[in-house]
């Protein structure tokens, strides 16, 4: 795959999904998470990308040139830049205000200002604020917590992505990571006695009892086929459900063999690997754009 990737985009240093297609930011994020070391030169492209198709309106970002603007790509840019030590003031300019403007009347976040609150967009928004150390600037934290709590279904234990939708295993991470990202500001505002904002055992029950295919892999819900996407995010959700915000011992439903490694709630890569990458590039000194 490493040999194939450069051939997939001969015109620039960004990554794309298949040979001959244009570079798209989520593919750059995926490859960047996979190959952290020796990549700082490559991801200078991200800075150029932000200066060109990003900073569109209200400093949101685009997937690719002339495409839509929303918080998914804003998250991809901020995530990559923070991991590789290229998170300059120019890159951060206006991003927090744009993300905050995507909070809806329900309390969650949509992809753009005025959109419906949605679990995937809410993750991208809150994770971006977390990376930028701006979670405490969320305009209506009580509404966000109320919306989030009501997305975890009392019977199934798993999360739905939007109001009046069915539970989906992938939201075990997209929604399930939010309590970990919000934990510090919740304690700061309401005190240490406030419980963690997720029923960790119930979420694990849904993943382990309803999300697993008997022959391997994980899925959206019973009756749906297994696939790589849901296998990834169900396992990631299992990790955040067990490790929470990292304070204290993991909460594990069932046998101790169910325990999985801790993933970083903002980057969804191994917690130790994420912090190691950030420290590695931080030690190289401030990023100097070419």
- Residues carrying an active site annotation: 118, 162, 165, 168, 170-171, 220, 227, 230
Q: Are the C-beta atoms of residues 175 and 159 closer than 8 Å to each other?
A: yes
By three-state DSSP, how is residue 109 classified? strand
User: What's the rounded Cα separation, in Å, for the pair 260 and 68?
Assistant: 36
By three-state DSSP, how is residue 218 classified? strand
Q: What angle do CA 178, 181, 187 make, to 5 degrees?
A: 110
User: What's the rounded Cα separation, in Å, for the pair 64 and 24?
Assistant: 5
Backbone angles phi, psi at 109, to 5 degrees: -120, 140
Which of 60, 39, 62 is closest to 109 using CA atoms? 60
User: What's the rounded Cα separation, in Å, for the pair 280 and 51?
Assistant: 25
- What separation, in Å, do the N-terminal and C-terminal C-alpha atoms of the chain show? 28
Structure tokens at 254: 């069932």
Q: Are the C-beta atoms of residues 132 and 95 closer than 8 Å to each other?
A: yes
- β partners of residue 263: 270
Residues 6+ away with beta carbon under 8 Å from 164 = none
Alpha helices, H only, 135-177: 141-151, 171-174
């Amino acid at each position: 795959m490493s040999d194939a990737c450069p051939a997939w985009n001969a015109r620039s240093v960004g990554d794309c999904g298949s040979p001959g297609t244009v570079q798209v930011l989520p593919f750059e994020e995926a490859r960047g998470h996979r190959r952290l070391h020796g990549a700082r030169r490559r991801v200078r492209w991200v800075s150029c990308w932000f200066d060109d198709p990003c900073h569109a309106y209200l400093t949101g970002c685009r997937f690719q040139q002339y495409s839509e603007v929303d918080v998914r790509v804003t998250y991809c840019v901020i995530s990559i830049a923070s991991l590789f030590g290229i998170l300059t003031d120019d890159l951060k300019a206006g991003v927090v205000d744009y993300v905050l403007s995507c909070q809806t009347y329900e309390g969650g976040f949509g992809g753009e200002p005025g959109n419906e609150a949605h679990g995937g967009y809410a993750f991208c928004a809150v994770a971006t604020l977390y990376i930028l150390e701006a979670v405490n600037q969320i305009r209506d934290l009580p509404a966000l917590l109320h919306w989030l709590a009501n997305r975890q279904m009392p019977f199934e234990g798993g999360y739905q992505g939007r109001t009046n939708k069915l539970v989906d295993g992938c939201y075990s991470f997209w929604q399930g990571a939010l309590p970990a990202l919000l934990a510090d500001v919740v304690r700061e505002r309401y005190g240490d006695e406030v419980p963690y904002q997720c029923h960790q055992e119930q979420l694990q029950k849904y993943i382990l009892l309803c999300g697993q295919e008997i022959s391997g892999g994980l899925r959206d819900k019973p009756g749906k086929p297994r696939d790589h996407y849901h296998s990834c995010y169900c396992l990631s959700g299992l990790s955040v459900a067990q490790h929470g915000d990292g304070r204290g011992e993991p909460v594990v439903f069932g046998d101790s063999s169910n325990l999985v490694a801790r993933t970083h709630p903002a980057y969804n890569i191994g917690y130790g690997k994420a912090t190691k990458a950030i420290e590695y590039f931080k030690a190289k000194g401030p990023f100097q754009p070419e």
